[in-house]
Amino acid sequence: MNLNPVIVAIPMYFTLMAVELVYESITRRRTYHLADAVTNINTGVLQQLTYTSITLFKIGIYIWVYEHFAFFQLPQNGWTLALAMIMWDFCFYWEHRMAHEISLFWGGHVVHHQSENFNLSVALRQTSTGFIWGFPFYLPMALIGIHPMQFVLVGGLNLLYQFWIHTEHIDKLPRWFEFIFNTPSHHRVHHARDPKYLDKNYGGIFIIWDRLFGTFKEEEERPHYGITKPLRSFNPLYANFAHYIDLARWASRALSVGDALRILFKHPGWLPDYLGGPQKPPEVGPDYQKYDVQVAREINWYVLFQFLSALAINSFYFFNYQAFSGPTKLSFALWIIGTTLMFAFLFEQHRPWLALLEVARIITVPVGLYAMQQWGSYVVPYWLQGLAWAWALVSAVAFVWIWRRKTAQHLAPLPQFNKV
């Protein structure tokens, strides 16, 4: 069983998102967009897929530093747990700040800021590469003797705290709370693309760090969300690498190694004069439109059903992956990646080959469960195998029917679609 706090909290995440959606249906104040929300959550799925591969490596490095280089080793008690919480958030502040101020590091964080909406699903929009640049910022905790168990625990708790602040439906809280802690109001500023709000409010739990180090900004009016160069895609894999692709393109055009390094390590948008000079973030004009695509209503409902089914399969994997063999883990990983890509393709493209790929993706679920049973890598109950075949049959028939009916005359968004 996976006891990662982020995984254990999955039911809480989706319960709170359901509450937010119910509230929006009552107040008719919409912040969700189906394709965007699916992409947000799928980037989180990819991040957790990465997490299952690198967690032991990260913890192993921390333990090695803790055992060989710690100045002293602190006991595990309530006081040291509180210290660990404060230290983690302090390290998070600097890791987070550098992720905004160094272009290469921004490539590992930009994913979280790409959504042009702001709701609880955005909290799950996480990077698969940020650990490369971010993890070293937390090693000072090992040096001062924070036990590895406390390190893992407070890291999970810090992320859990940051979930609820991704909402437009909570206004400012009591002044004393707003002064000390990160809140939805402070975090709306952080997710803004308006120039006056850029690079502000980096704290995780505590906003005190921003007040101390000059990066605090009060919310004055509701911001426009997203990044200054919109992604304009619902592809979660591309979302993880778009900034790196841009960096490689610009660095390859640099006339010297020094300029190439400055492109990588200066503030995002820095370019030498012969490539146009530093790029200033533009104001959000009155003609600004959020990225949207026309999708047949039937495709929307089909993707929503398949997305919920995929969440059940993904949860099964993340809760139990430690019990699976290497080939089984690889098979699940490929299916999960393929599924996140397929949803993006269904939203954004209509190519003949998509139909074949989607039917193949569906059939791999019952076939994969049967293979797990036959190869003895996992005991799959017969009722679950039967349910998987029934689901695959219904899904395949429904998809073929919908795909054949998909014409320009049927293009219509779900009621929850939201346009600016």
With bands split at pLDDT 50, 70 and 90, how would you rate the model's confidence at 11? confident
The pLDDT tens digits for 181-197 are 999 999 999 999 999 99
Report the chain's mean pLDDT, rounded to a whole number: 92
The label of the residue with tokens 């269904």 reads 346
Cα 134 to Cα 158: distance, rounded to the nearest angstrom? 15
Angstrom CA distances, 153 to 46, 59, 74, 85, 234, stand at 22, 12, 15, 9, 32
The pLDDT tens digits for 297-347 are 899 999 999 999 999 999 999 988 888 888 889 999 999 999 999 999 999
Domain ranges of the chain: 5-213, 300-410
Instruction: For residue 344, give both structure tokens.
Output: 């993006």
pLDDT higher than threshold 90 for residue 372: no
Against a cut of 0.85, is the pTM above it? yes
Is the model more confident about 302 or about 420? 302
Give the contacts of 128 (CB within 8 A, at least 6 positions apart): 43, 46, 47, 49, 50, 111, 240
pLDDT higher than threshold 90 for residue 351: no
Count Cα atoms within 13 angstroms, Cβ side, for 404. Answer: 5
Instruction: For residue 245, give both structure tokens.
Output: 């692709």
With bands split at pLDDT 50, 70 and 90, how would you rate the model's confidence at 399? very high
Three-class secondary structure of residue 376 per DSSP:
coil
